[in-house]
Structure 1
Amino acid sequence: AAPSSGQRRLWFFDQLQPGSAAYNIACGVRLRGPLDRPALERALTRITERHEVLRSVLRADGVGGVQAVVLPVTPVVVRTVQAPGEAGEELVRRAGQIAAEPFDLATGPLLRCTLLHGAGDARLLVLAMHHAVSDGWSLQVLIRELVELYGAQAEGREPRLPALPVQYADYALWQARWLTSPAAAAQLEYWRKRLDGAVLADLATDRPRPARSDFSGAHARFEVGAAAGARIGALADRLRTTPFTVAMAAFAAVLARFTGQDDLVVGTPVAGRGRAETAALAGFFVNTLPVRVDLSGDPSLEELVVRMHDEVLDGRSNADVPFDHLVEELRPQRDAGGRTPLVRYLFQSDESVQEPVVVGGLEMLPVRLDTGTAKFDLAVDLSPRADGGFDGLVEYSTELFDPAAVERIATALRLVLEEAGPAQAAAALSRLPVMTSADRAELLERWSGAGVPAVPTDTATVHGHIEAQADRTPLATAVQFGEERLNYAELDERANRLAWELRARGVGRGALVGVALPRGLDLMVALLAVLKSGGAYLPLDAGYPAARIEMMLEDAGARVLVTDTDAVPAELTAAAGAAGAQVLCLRRDAEAVAARPRHRPQAGTGARDLAYVIFTSGSTGRPKGAMNEHAAVVNRLLWMHRTFGLAEGEGVLQKTPIGFDVSVWELFWPLMAGGRCVLARPGGHQDPEYLCELIASAAVTTVHFVPSMLAAFTTAGRLPAVRDALRRIVCSGEELPAALVTECAALLPDTGVFNLYGPTEAAVDVTWYPCAEGYGSRVPIGRPIDGAHVYLVDRAGRPVPVGVAGELLLGGPAVGRGYWRRPGLTAQRFVPDPFGEPGSRLYRTGDLCRWRADGTLQYLGRIDHQVKLRGMRIEPGEIEEALRTHPGVDSAVVSVRTGGSGTPVLVAHVRPAGGPDSPAGSPDSPAADGLAAVLRAHLRELLPAHMVPTAFATVAEWPLGPNGKL
């Protein structure tokens, strides 16, 4: 006979993954009292006689398809398994293992009965079936008929069983005919419209999705008390719906809070038995309903329940189309690994209360069995209890989630269900609690770093610490540049004289001084002199266009520009004049500077005075100046010294252009700790071979790289020369690939790699992570440094649970003052701190992160990198990650460009594996066209159609900015 749509799908699945227990269905029956084993086997045999499907097998039909074959009736033999040392939950676990034993769909039988004997008189009857011949409803049919047939024998009467006018094969034939009818076409059109543009809900997982799933699973349990159950029932009555609808709405609310999505598809099973004659029949009838949930506008739980009620009602009116047929017709996004498409998360409720039944002196109590599998990412089952409460079970994929992550989701669902009272149900969903007060306190008080004070110090300023070090080690080398050296005393004296000159030109506390000098000893002297004068330095790259420098100087109101006409373009000094800044030329004005006093000026600078202002690009096109104070910088540098313990004389490489904040610690940390600041030649930061030579010759122990530059550094031919000297590689500025860390560990086994994170609006870095074992596929950005407070919040500003993406907010002494002369933008990005002391502020980074279970932060991307095409939100990073999974791709960048018709399109720029030497390394080569076709097909396997770029372009090398970033 022809199989049903569902049977056909499960047969194809079995061909791909033979022996999988993913579609085993099982129930245990706890037995107490005398058992008549022959009567039990006769009852089971009679059941298989009544329900032909339980004697069916699925076999290849010889032409690429499958057919269902009904085998003759044979006596059912209940096998016996002894487990003498097990009882209670241990025995139930053993029963689950037995139920998970694979079936052979071609030979059968697809119903297996086992009597499990445990310790003492503990016994469990294990009834296992393949889903191809059964479903959850069928299990209830089986149990009812088993009780009746066994009881009738014990009582010496005829069994009272409903007639079965049709068999499952009749249903399969009816279904095949119905699918060609106008009614089926109308239902399919309903789903086509309803699911148009739907995207998969996306809970953060603890591990990447495997290329091939083994469907391994586990479950977590939770309880909803009787009082909460009564409130759920009352809410359902008031809204004229069911407790199931209320609970499913609560589950959708939790998913929305954990994913940040307000448009979700949640699956729920429907019996699929619309015809009355199928009610008492065993077989695979159940259908999955993909319910699209609209959570836009932050509705209340009440409002969401009403939306859910209408959605489920409409869906059930169109529930005859098999889910498998729906997938074939709509071709939705498919998960890697073969999991169910369209629906990742399922909600179901067993409306019946399980109670023991006594027949012939034998008590039978059905119990749930765990086969160790999970067909969905996450499936919630809520079962009512006799006291009015509910037992909750969350089945989840162990390939994706750790138990702790699922426990947090289960806790959130319990909390939302317990908030179903009238007042709470009327509140916006964003206000419902999704974590316990203890978990919230741990995030806000411990993990945030709020309880860790700034590093204590008696010296308030950066230059004050350097002056103290100069007093301790005046003759030690402070700065070296090629063959040139300055010891601490010389550096201090030269900076003092220049500081006096600056003060003579009107520089004092809070004044900004532009510094436009190439890397060299004069640069170090000038920066330190600005701080000693009471001013704050404004770093300027001489390579910038003159118009931009003029704009920055004018915007900053800089009194003085320190430069050198022999080393910078004439346009720069002209720009300074146009901006109204005095030009102090170190060579031209050398005599005037040399005539100034050698002792230190006392400018009265304090901890809250500005140390520097760095201009960064702005979304409006106008650069914005981030202000940072001495206290924040001192805390950052003292933390670094306390953490890494730089010894006197150690070399720290300074190679980052001073317009980028990493330069701050490269310049000043070694001078505060008695080390050496080793200056790379101008432009040398982009030459890996030169850097290797410098690190080795200057005995540099600490160096910074953005990850993309570190990748280039690891390929340098002279890399072995750095092994004796280099002890620390500090990374920041881009996401650090785990593979790169592994590569560094292999090439430089004695060199530690540290991942740091921080925006320019705070003092350089605010979190750190020592890269060691155990971080998984993505390197965290770690924990807050001393004096930094970190919080992750949702769109409503509420703390998010562990594992949930949220915007990273920064607080504490590490946070900068704001943006120079931009009060509106400062107020927008530097906001009141609801978690701290009155008057404290938080900086909104715009970065998405999540807490890992170990208390470290993982960077996920930028909020504002999200794009919207044809009404659908897209994160380019997700496409880039998918591209990098192809062996032909070294790296990728996805962006939005305007197409020929004026509409925005996605464009993928790809660097092929092998770089410029690969066949596809040239954009014009035929191999490049071939790679584009391959990658397009690859992405179609991983992503929905709207996320597959329209155009592909190959690049031989990535263009890098002056700081080494893309």
Structure 2
Amino acid sequence: MDQQGTGSDQLRTLVAELIGIEPEAVSGDANLFELGLESIVLMRLVGRFRKQGSKVTFADLASRPTVSAWTELVGAASRPVPHTPAREPEANQLDADTFDLAVLQHAYWIGRSAEQRFGGVSPHLYTEFDGEAVDPDRLRDALDAVVRRHDMLRARITDNGEQRIESIPGWRGLTVHDLRTEVDAAVELERTRQRLTHQMLNIESGEMFSVDLSLLPDGRTRLHLDLDMIAGDAVSFRILVADLARAYDGRSLPAIDYSYARYLADRPHDRRSARAQAERYWSERRDSLPGAPTLPLLERDSGTPTATRRAFHLDSQAYSALQSQARAHGVTPAVAVAAAFAEVVGAWSREQRFLLNVPMFDRAPTHPGVGDLVGDFSSSVMLDVDLSETLSFAERSRRLRARLHEDAAHVDYSGVEVLRDLGRRRGATVLAPVVFTSALGLGELFDARARQVFGNPVWIVSQGPQVVLDAQITELDGGVLVNWDIRENEFLPGVPDAMFDAFEALVRGLVADHGAAWREPVGQLVPPRQLAVRTPSPDVPRTDASPVAGTETLHRAVFDRALSNPVAIALEWDENESMTYGELCDRALRVAAALAGRGVAVGDTVGVTLPKGPEQVVAILGVLAAGGVYVPIGVDQPANRAALIARRAEFAVTIGGSGEDGLTVSDTILGEPLPAPHLGPDTAAAYMIFTSGSTGEPKGVVVSHRAAMNTIGDLIDRFALDERYRPLCLSELDFDLCTFDLFSVFAAGGTAVLIQEHERRDPQRWVSLIRSHRVTAISCVPPLLDMILSTGDDLGGSLEVVMLGGDKVGIDLYRRLTAALPGCRFAGLGGATETAIHNSICEVVDVDPNWRTVPFGVPLRSMAMRVVDARGRRVPDWVPGELWVAGTGLAEGYLGDPERTSDRFVVVDGYRWYRTGDLVRYGAGSMVEFLGRVDNQIKINGFRIELGEIASVLCDDPEVATAAAVVDRTGTPALMAAVVPTDPAADPSETVAGVFTRIVERLPAHMVPERMVALRALPLTVNGKIDSAAIVRQCRAAVDTERATARVAPRTHLERALALIWQSVLGVEEAGVTDSLFALGGDSVLATTIVARVRAAFDITSVTVRMLFTNPTVAGLAHNMIADQGTAKSLESTAEIYVSIESMSEDELLAALEQQHTR
């Protein structure tokens, strides 16, 4: 098609040929994407039109994808192509000379360093072909011909990050493995596969590819071909294989009168305006772009990188069906598969908006021979995927297509550059390690002759630095090969298989049900075996079943015990004080009679505000015996809050209160007792606890007898609690763990050991009571056990079980307790006031290395758990989500607040669920693991941050006993942290400095607290939970806990010279010698520039980017340079001259040079 030959008929024929349909099927106004036009084909068309002189762009064609519009666009944008002499390349871009790496090449080179996140691997594409009778000698000759033809196979990457074409190739030559007589040939083949799949070619010595040939029995052969992708992209790999087949056939491979170096120099001048426009486009979107998908990855160093392959093949019939369905819904097969991939990634990601790294193959038509070259012509697009809305699969695909076309239209500013900009903006390296590569539209993966010569490809795997998952689709055998290359050892167990299985099922579903899957949203993708173990048990009540009232109320057991064994001890306190069951119930009935005398009726609320001690117990039993609902109010509650609770709950009487409605227990002693307790149905409300509300006002949670007894009954049975059960009751009355302390004792027939009000903050006294009263159990929040263990006192030998709940349970507590009491059982319990104290349990026997804290575990009896994403869909194992709880233990709701009740208690799949707000995940063994709170997620500089994750990393530090991360929300949100040193005598400032040094290696920069303070103990609320507000106040007041300590000025001439170079390259006014390159806004490209400046300034070649990365500070680089040179003397002399020259003005410098010349 010549310059004037862009009429609609010719264009229709061209497009039909590229799509693979008849020209008659392409009407002038038909949407070409709906007909099957792939984006990669559109990019080639743009190149073709531009080569003929048209100024048309990808965006122009993508925005109006019809033949009629294109005819108009191409005609209007066409211009005669004047003859211009070839532009001379710059001096550093001549053939057979050193020239710069392309953008993606540079990213590959930096990323292969082991110091980089997800680094330590080379970008390479490895393929095995199973054929017959491939002759080693002919193959060697063919390889020699191919190496002569393609200069990038003779390239070498310098230690300064440049590339140079050598006359003598650096590859090791053909390696032949003769396995013709091997009994275990298959074993040897597998060893070769594993070795080559994970090899890292030595590109610094010019080893850009490797070729092995295995000779097998019966004349069979296997060709092993590996190409480092810094030398060539996937399209180049196909060219390489095709040329190798031609040369093997004895056909000549003429020299290409063009080179990759010249291509990099000759890219069209008019791309500059496109690049500027693309840069503006991405700059405008920069602040709104998301990060990478948060997949379930291991948090610690996973060791040697291991890439594994998973693949499936759609045959020609299935591919045809996919094309038809995609076309019918207005997208291409590539977009449909990309949408399926995005859905699967989203199902395993905490975030529902994320970046996918989409490579683009874009060879600009700079020369007729450019299509024959081997080199890296690829770029990438950072595709913004948003799954937050519930959409049909067809609509999801169409939106993804629109987003991809808009983003791809600005590919002149590559995805690598976008990531660098994001990193500078957000103060931390930003990666996009999940890749989707489509080669649909480029034809078969390997041409027919190559497969005839070398055989069919039986193994294809690629891996790349800073990539954890790379999905590829390409045409093969008339169908589509779908391949996943996964960095297996980065993922938590079972995740890669589960993701791939879900992806294959989703893709196959798109062609198997006549379009039904396209019309509906993608459902939950949890593997069936995971769902099977999460199904609620038959004893979990359904909403469609009518509840039957029972008689097991909280107080029935205590009154039954008073009748059957009135002299049994119910309560003990102090050293020798006690109260029998008979005495306790007699006093409670007297309180009940007094309440009845005050007009308290069944179902009325009664406030209880008494100090810790036996009167508390008498009071709440008295309320229940009167048929009332007790509402505890802590004696430390502010008067205004206590009054608000009283108004909300509409107290009939307040025991311990003042005024007309006040009643004291002592007032009732002389009165007559109620003849018998009121023992109503277990469905009646038993108590109401007011908890903090998001609005700042307390909310009253109404809990029935049945709900509370469900929790109590499970734990009594689980731990075989009986008359020997003697718990130490530590919890405050208005904290629901107190409900378990007391009523579990009465249900088991044991004895409650009480603490008095003056003892409730005295852990030494608690330990004394444990010993003197031979306490067998403790149920409390984790910080209280920490206080007990921290006393260092002997606990005696009576403790049999410790149950911790109400907050996250640290692994260290288990280790410390079992060290002190090896035979004591230890359990962590998950729960909330809305789920009647506890709803799940994990009894710790062995600690899983993946646990951050003791898991919530598994549901208690008659309870169920569900972990969901933001759209309410169940999530797979290891994926964070909100915990929902269903079952007998659920509260009735919130007093007088139907709107809040309907928001937090929802009916789904026939069960009533409480949305806990806890951020959890299913871990190994279907154990639910606590991660933090959903409302603990904050967003700073575009990053979503979970405070629990920061605290977990801090707690892992060897010098930290416990820690908490908080947010100062005054003004711009700022991260803060408090740590408790393991050594109480340690210097606080040294502890903080040491912790900062270590956590920067474990946490990305955006998750490192701005301030940190070392405390003797974490401040607690009255209920024993961490007091975040107090930590914020102490962090604000701490002057020694700034993360960036006072800037250290250069101390030597060498450091001064390096600091000047850093300031110039990074554009900062001052660079301290301990300031990190990356904290100052540096990245890998700027690091390369710094190294080049240093090498030029000091006339040494031993300084490398990797040397800088090992210690990215001025002081670190100076130290490494001295160590490399063996002496500081010459470096200091050169640096002194450099600093002197840099300090001169231009006039002073000219004068000095003139003076030197006259000498």
**What TM-score, normalized by structure 2, do the two folds share?**
0.72
Q: Does 1:68 align with 2:172?
A: no
Deviations 1:116-154 (A, max 9, x none): 3456655321112333323322221221112111123xx
Aligned to 1:107: 205
CA contact (8 A) 2:130 2:457 kept: no
1:273 paired residue among 342, 346, 363: 363
Give the gaps of 5 or more residues in structure 1.
153-157, 564-571, 922-926
1:596 paired residue among 628, 649, 673: 673
CA contact (8 A) 2:633 2:642 kept: yes
CA contact (8 A) 2:954 2:979 kept: no
Deviates more, 1:393-402 or 1:863-872: 863-872
Aligned to 2:431: 342
Aligned to 1:697: 772
Aligned to 1:506: 599
1:762 paired residue among 821, 835, 839: 835
Deviates more, 1:201-210 or 1:947-956: 947-956
Aligned to 2:281: 190
Change (3 A) 1:448 1:46: farther
Q: Does 1:810 align with 2:885?
A: yes
Change (3 A) 1:319 1:555: closer
Q: How does 1:593-632 map to 2 (within 5 A)?
A: 595-596=672-673, 600-601=676-677, 603-632=678-707
Aligned to 1:396: 486
1:517 Cα deviation after fit: 1.9
- 2: distance between equivalents of 1:360 and 1:619? 66
2:213 is paired with a residue of what secondary structure? strand
- 1: distance between equivalents of 2:618 and 2:987? 50
AA aligned opposite 1:801: P
CA contact (8 A) 1:792 1:849 kept: yes
1:334 Cα deviation after fit: 9.3
Aligned to 2:507: 417
Aligned to 1:4: 101
1:573 is paired with a residue of what secondary structure? coil
Deviations 1:52-105 (A, max 9, x none): 221222233xxx554535141589742233563556798356423234233323
AA aligned opposite 1:732: G
CA contact (8 A) 2:550 2:682 kept: no
Aligned to 1:845: 916
- 1: distance between equivalents of 2:273 and 2:389? 37
Deviates more, 1:84-93 or 1:301-310: 84-93
Deviations 1:387-443 (A, max 9, x none): 64x4433332333314522222223323443454786466564x5342466654543
Q: How does 1:880-891 map to 2 (within 5 A)?
A: 880-881=951-952, 891=963
Number of equivalences: 913
- 2: distance between equivalents of 1:606 and 1:667? 20
CA-based RMSD: 3.8
AA aligned opposite 2:605: L
2:586 paired residue among 490, 493, 496: 493
Q: How does 1:409-808 map to 2 (within 5 A)?
A: 409-418=499-508, 420=510, 424=516, 427=519, 429=521, 431-435=522-526, 439-445=530-536, 460-482=552-574, 483-563=576-656, 572-574=657-659, 577=660, 581=661, 583-592=662-671, 595-596=672-673, 600-601=676-677, 603-682=678-757, 684-718=759-793, 721-722=794-795, 724-775=797-848, 776-778=850-852, 779-808=854-883
Give the gaps of 5 or more residues in structure 2.
1-97, 1027-1159
Aligned to 2:156: 57
CA contact (8 A) 2:315 2:477 kept: no
1:143 paired residue among 226, 241, 247: 241
Deviations 1:430-486 (A, max 9, x none): x534246665454334699779x9999985212222333445544332211112112
CA contact (8 A) 2:223 2:454 kept: no
2:696 is paired with a residue of what secondary structure? coil
1:939 Cα deviation after fit: 5.7
Q: How does 1:117-136 map to 2 (within 5 A)?
A: 117=215, 122-136=220-234
1:950 Cα deviation after fit: 6.2
2:470 paired residue among 369, 373, 379: 379
- 1: distance between equivalents of 2:275 and 2:299? 38
1:734 Cα deviation after fit: 1.6
1:542 Cα deviation after fit: 1.8
Q: Does 1:38 align with 2:137?
A: yes
- 2: distance between equivalents of 1:549 and 1:361? 86
1:555 Cα deviation after fit: 2.0
Larger relative helix fraction: 2
Deviations 1:148-202 (A, max 9, x none): 11123xxxxx33x465222233345557x98995554443333333333323233
1:288 is paired with a residue of what secondary structure? strand
1:614 Cα deviation after fit: 0.9
AA aligned opposite 1:591: L
- 1: distance between equivalents of 2:562 and 2:183? 75
CA contact (8 A) 1:93 1:369 kept: no
CA contact (8 A) 2:629 2:686 kept: yes
Deviations 1:569-628 (A, max 9, x none): xxx413xx3xxx3x3222233211xx336x633x24111112111111212232221111
Deviations 1:827-851 (A, max 9, x none): 2222234333xxxx22222223222
1:254 paired residue among 317, 328, 344: 344
- 2: distance between equivalents of 1:505 and 1:75? 97
Change (3 A) 1:650 1:444: closer
1:489 is paired with a residue of what secondary structure? helix
Deviates more, 1:50-59 or 1:70-79: 70-79
- 2: distance between equivalents of 1:717 and 1:400? 40
Aligned to 1:965: 1025
Identity over the aligned pairs, expressed in percent?
26
Change (3 A) 1:912 1:117: farther
CA contact (8 A) 2:178 2:215 kept: yes
- 2: distance between equivalents of 1:748 and 1:208? 31
Change (3 A) 1:513 1:207: same
2:323 is paired with a residue of what secondary structure? helix
Deviations 1:802-848 (A, max 9, x none): 33333222222111111222233222222234333xxxx22222223
**What TM-score, normalized by structure 1, do the two folds share?**
0.85
Q: Does 1:905 align with 2:973?
A: yes
- 1: distance between equivalents of 2:244 and 2:524? 45
2:874 is paired with a residue of what secondary structure? coil
- 2: distance between equivalents of 1:358 and 1:170? 30
- 1: distance between equivalents of 2:270 and 2:977? 44
- 1: distance between equivalents of 2:571 and 2:617? 8
1:399 is paired with a residue of what secondary structure? helix
Aligned to 1:566: none
Change (3 A) 1:223 1:296: same
1:797 is paired with a residue of what secondary structure? coil
CA contact (8 A) 2:1000 2:1008 kept: yes
Change (3 A) 1:370 1:615: same
Aligned to 2:459: 368
AA aligned opposite 1:236: A
Deviates more, 1:85-94 or 1:791-800: 85-94
CA contact (8 A) 1:57 1:70 kept: yes
1:965 Cα deviation after fit: 0.8
1:895 is paired with a residue of what secondary structure? strand
CA contact (8 A) 2:498 2:527 kept: no
CA contact (8 A) 1:379 1:396 kept: yes
2:739 is paired with a residue of what secondary structure? helix
Change (3 A) 1:604 1:693: closer
CA contact (8 A) 1:802 1:852 kept: yes
